[in-house]
Amino acid sequence: MGKDTGFIEFEKQAIPRREVRERVQDYGEYDLNYSNSDIRRQASRCMDCGVPFCHMGCPLGNMIPDWNDLVYRDQWRDALGVLHSTNNFPEFTGRICPAPCEDSCVLNEHYTLDPEEKQKKKHSVTIEQVEKHIVERGWQEGWILPQPPQQETGKKIAVIGSGPAGLAAAQQLRRVGHQVTVFEKDDRLGGLLIYGIPDFKLDKIHVQRRIDQMTQEGVEFKTGIEIGKDLKISDLRKTFDALLLAIGAQHTRKLEADGHDLKGVHYAMDYLPQRNREVAGDVLNEEKIIKASGKKAVILGGGFTAADCLGNLNRQGVHPEVCQFELVDMLPRPTPVHEEAKMDSRANILTESLSGSTTGFVKSLNGVKVQWEKGKGMKPLENTRFSVDADLVFLALGFLGPSLEGPLQELNLEMEIRGKHETIQVEKLQQLLKSGQPMYQVRADPNFMTSCDGVFVAGDAKRGASLVVWAIWEGREAARCIDSYLMGESSLPTSPQAEMLA
């Protein structure tokens, strides 16, 4: 490394953020940028650890020590090249990835052996922020340009879905000379990057820049086309040499407690797209707008989707005391938006029922604390029942799998029940879902191909709801497999580290 003693000389610097009272007034990104000198100093903390666990902990196999060293040496353009060699969209992961690389950093182990201290403060290199600064420097300097293919193969590929998996696959496939058409059911491209993740975490200009780059590379985009409804999968198979399903996993887990159908109870994926549309300037139906100003809100779920709901509620002027309950034995992961409200966050809470008013609106949530026993599930604890007032209840309970309608139903693909490795046809899975809520995914072989020849799958539809960094990896790997399927071999790169972790 360029500065062998950087990790000794310099402390980890907190991410600069806008003041809470300022940022809750708008939807601008809450993170600020380090100065160039600060980010180089933080990059210099990357130690010569011998075994770079950060590199192995990253699904994409990002060569983190390499670009940290280049940033410290002020060789930004070279750092950008190394970063792009494994990641098509580092401006996405540099903003919204939970950074498993930083959790794996050896510096977390180096500073202290006290487990409480480790839990309280991470000493890792600020990998995610260095990543973001590299790619933003690339855009500012004009180093990021379209990379059209040098020759055409004549092969045509349809990518269904324009989330991070679909975009990564489309870009990789186009760059080796295939004709790629991306079909998106919504009116804007980007999938959950656009209609799931709030602008205060990811400004949509970062997505649009990549769409523009890919368009100039020759990728064709078609919006407002829902495959299975507006266009049959059978018609696509007649036109294209291969298909990639990158349709996500948006079948949400349902709340089954009494009162789940009261007015004021909303699923997160009904609420979040609405907020993003309004921020984008769309005119919404006034009667359908979910208004939160001054209201008491309860969020069920402890993941990133729940946090995204919270951040939006804060910006709508929700009552400052927000409740967030998680069913499992883990407190909701704190994020910057948790600093913006007075939180009542609890783990091991089961919602037993929701009570409503005479007009059909939710007015309170009735819960109980539970204890989890290995192999036996959960049991309610005596004398722990409680009620909290609620004008709004948001359900961020996770996702079961991809929608079974459309392409999956038409092809009647083989599916897998997660955790049991059971194979089941779509038609039988639809019957099973009428009596339960099993988690499932599209079955694929090691080459990302489904049970239907020439039809591939990648992203959340294949692995279950996961992280954007995994979606990008899935898209890149699926592209390599599709290229091999069509051409007999592929020059596209693979990530052995990520393959080992998959």
pLDDT tens digits for 315-346? 999 999 999 999 998 877 789 999 999 999 99
pLDDT tens digits, 98-134: 999 998 898 886 555 555 555 545 689 999 999 999 9
| Closest to 415 (Cα-Cα) out of 280, 245, 277, 174 | 245
Q: Which fold has domain 156-251+400-501?
A: FAD/NAD(P)-binding domain (3.50.50)
Q: Per CATH, is 265-397 categorized as 3.50.50.60?
A: yes
List, in sequence order, every residue forming a beta bridge with 417; answer none if it has no partner.
422, 440
pLDDT band at 42 (very low <50, low <70, confident <90, very high): very high
Q: What pLDDT score does 110 carry?
A: 59
pLDDT recorded at residue 3: 84
DSSP line for 425-479 = EHHHHHHHTTS----EEE---TTSB-SSTTEEE-THHHH-S--HHHHHHHHHHHH
Rg, Å, the chain Cα set: 23
Give yes or no for a contact between 306 and 323, defined as CB atoms under 8 angstroms apart.
no
Cross-strand bridge partners of residue 242 = 157
**Residues spanned by CATH 3.50.50.60 within the chain?**
156-251+400-501, 265-397
Residue 481, classed as helix, strand or coil, is helix
CB 161 within 8 A of CB 184: yes
Q: CATH 1.10.1060.10 occupies which residues in the chain? A: 6-141
- Could you read off the pLDDT of 45-63 as tens digits, one per residue? 998 888 888 988 899 989 9
pLDDT band (50, 70, 90) for residue 498: very low
Per-residue pLDDT tens digits for 162-175: 999 999 999 999 99
Average pLDDT of the chain to the nearest whole number? 93
Burial of 138 (0-12, 13-18, 19+ CB in 10 A): buried
Q: Whole-angstrom Cα distance, residue 137 to residue 202?
A: 17
Among 128, 142, 138, 137, which Cα is nearest to 201's?
128
User: Which H or E element spans position 300?
Assistant: strand 297-300
- Is 6-141 assigned to CATH 1.10.1060.10? yes
pTM given for the model: 0.94
Using one digit for the tens of pLDDT, what is the confidence trace for 442-457?
999 999 999 999 999 9
Report d(CA 94, CA 139) in Å as an integer: 14
Amino acid at 35: S
- What sign does the CA torsion over 466, 467, 470, 476 have? positive
* Helix, strand, coil shares, percent, the chain, to 5: 35, 20, 45
Tokens of 35: 């100065």
CB-based contact 100:58 (threshold 8 Å): yes
- Using CA atoms, how far apart are residues 339 and 362, in angstroms rounded to an integer? 27
